[in-house]
Copies of this chain bind each other. A is one copy, B any other.
Amino acid sequence: MNAHDHARGQASAYLAQLKDLIRIPSISTDPERKGDIRRAAEWLADDLRRIGFERVEIKPTAGHPVVYAEWLGAGEAAPTVLVYGHYDVQPAEIEAGWTSDPFEPVVRDGKIYARGAADDKGQVFAQVKAAESLLAAGGAPVNLKFLIEGEEEIGSPHLGAWVRANRDLLKADACVISDTSILAIDQPSICYALRGLAYMEVEVFGPKQDLHSGGFGGIVHNPAQALAEMIAQLHHLDGSVAVPGFYDDVLPLSDDERAELMKSAAPEDYWREMTGVPAFWGEAAYALHERIGARPTLEINGMVSGFYGAGSKTVLPARALAKISCRLVANQQPRRIFEQVRDHIARITPPTVRSEVRLIAEGVPARTDLHSRPMQAAIAAYEKGWGKRPLFERGGGTLPVMADIQRELNMPVVLMGFGLRTDGAHGPDEHFHVEMFHKGISTAIHFLELMGT
């Protein structure tokens, strides 16, 4: 019996096991759930041991533990695939609008309703069951390493350090992450690029203390005004970023890539409905989905100065602050962008005020070459698993774990999502299509088979 037949035969058993995993409320945001977090890690470790992994360990971190498992039975000559997922979930209370108990999975209309069903227990478990099916059918053609963490929903604060400390252990030829969405239940897609981040804080200092706007207004450069005047110099009128050198390292979109992306692009109406803005904005030379996925941005995430409550207070504020973040695309580097913004801010700071720019957070952009072997394997695997060739997307957000793995382990990363945008991850009535679970297992088996040929 081959792995696919095995998976089909075990379909209801695999689903029942997934339900057991889901019943453990492994909520990483809640300190009182530490015991449940541990239970979920142990449940997964037991399952990985049972299905034939040779080495399975619950590895401590400064926070919740990582489940590590490996099967190296394919031999040294065979490639190695690292699978990443997470066993922790967002909080959920039935009062928040759930139709049924969020930690008692129920299948309705072909969907399994429960917290974590899609994000990420259902997806990572599809990978585990793909491995089980291969091992049960005589072994996988590639070596397997699983890294399943327990802190993704709190921002993976300790994963980067743990990965850095375990570089040798995690050595592999490709990494696959199943924690994202595809375009539609009958249309697979691969997100092959995500944006990076350089998050900064700009502070402008004017008078030594708040002043009375009557007693001093007219001789002091108001720091809120000065900050506004500086922010106005961060973009050109055409919507492009005015920071010198900002676009130097941007990998241009090829005509082929643009054509591929166009096939998966949402229509303008979709973006109009999602944003509700009176008119779009941004770089006119690029389509909306390109501006989001393939172009870097500079965004004001917030600003504050002086008095902003109800009524009036005639203050001339002493300082003004803005939170500014740049979304970056390959091959921009967060530190270099920070330095360019910092230097530009210094240049445009008038002599009437003082300014400071501080780097708050950073993440490297990610982009996996569409011609790389893991990507080609993933494309073929989706085609076999879904019966339809996948479309290609670039995401506008940042996935810290993808950046961590790319930076620390230097291997191509494939985002092999089995979810849908409409799954309600993080909200009430989160669900996962049972069909997606089984197609996911099938696709994951194909991927590992293709990687081994």
A301 touches B316 (CB 8 A): yes
Binds B, one of A39-47, A119-127, A223-231: A223-231
Q: Are A292 and B219 in contact, with the CB atoms below 8 A?
A: yes
Kindly list chain B residues whose C-beta atoms are within 8 Å of the C-beta of A316: 299, 301
A304 — which chain B residues lie within 8 A by C-beta?
303-305, 308
A292, chain B: closest CB distance, angstroms: 5
Q: Is A211 an interface residue (CB 8 A)?
A: yes
Contact between A275 and B218, CB atoms less than 8 A apart: no
Please count how many residues in chain A sit with their CB below 8 Å of the partner chain's CB atoms. Answer: 79
Given known A-B contacts A225-B235, A275-B208, A354-B278, A216 and B303 have beta carbons under 8 A apart: no
Q: Are B220 and A277 in contact (CB under 8 A)?
A: yes
A396 contact from B215, B221, B232, B351, Cβ within 8 A: B215
- Indicate whether A453 reaches chain B with its CB closer than 8 angstroms: no
Tell me whether A157 is interfacial, beta carbon within 8 Å: no
CB-based contact A308/B279 at 8 Å: no
A189 → chain B closest CB, angstroms = 16
Tell me the bound Cα distance from A221 to B283 in angstroms: 11
Q: How far is the CA of A437 from the CA of B395 in the complex (A)?
A: 75
**With A and B bound together, what is the CA distance between A292 and B199 in angstroms?**
39
On chain B, the residues within 8 Å of A292 by CB distance are 215-219
In the complex, chain B residues whose CB is within 8 Å of the CB of A302: 224, 305-308, 313, 315, 317
CB neighbours of A228 from chain B (8 A): 227-229, 231-232, 300, 303
* A317 CA to B354 CA, complexed, in Å: 26
Which residue on chain B has the smallest CB distance to residue A273? Answer: B208
Bound CA span A112–B410, Å: 78
A136 at the A/B interface (Cβ < 8 Å)? no
Give A290-312 interface residues, CB cut-off 8 Å to B: 291-292, 295, 297, 299-308, 311-312
The 8 Å CB contact of A217, one of B220, B222, B312, B396, is B396
Q: In the assembled complex, which residues on chain B have CB atoms less than 8 Å from the CB atom of A23?
A: none
User: Taking the complex as formed, is A323 at the interface, i.e. its CB lies under 8 A from any CB of chain B?
Assistant: yes
Q: Smallest Cβ distance from A379 to chain B, in angstroms?
A: 25
Query: In the complex, what residues of B have CB within 8 A of residue A283's CB?
Result: 218
Residue A312 contacts which of B208, B229, B234, B360 (CB distance < 8 angstroms)?
A: B360
Determine whether A424 belongs to the interface, using a CB cutoff of 8 Å to chain B.
no
For the complex, is A320 an interface residue (Cβ under 8 Å from B)? yes
Kindly identify which residue among B218, B229, B360, B395 contacts A311, using a CB–CB cutoff of 8 Å.
B360
Chain A residues at the B interface, C-beta cutoff of 8 Å: 195, 197, 199, 206-209, 211-222, 224-225, 227-229, 231-235, 271, 274-283, 288, 291-292, 295, 297, 299-308, 311-317, 320-323, 325, 327, 350-354, 360-361, 395-398
A-B contact pairs, 13 of them (CB 8 A): A197-B314, A211-B274, A213-B297, A213-B325, A217-B292, A218-B295, A219-B281, A278-B352, A300-B305, A301-B314, A304-B305, A311-B361, A313-B323
Nearest 10 Cβ contacts at the A-B interface: A208-B276, A214-B397, A302-B306, A218-B291, A221-B281, A228-B231, A232-B232, A304-B308, A224-B300, A302-B307
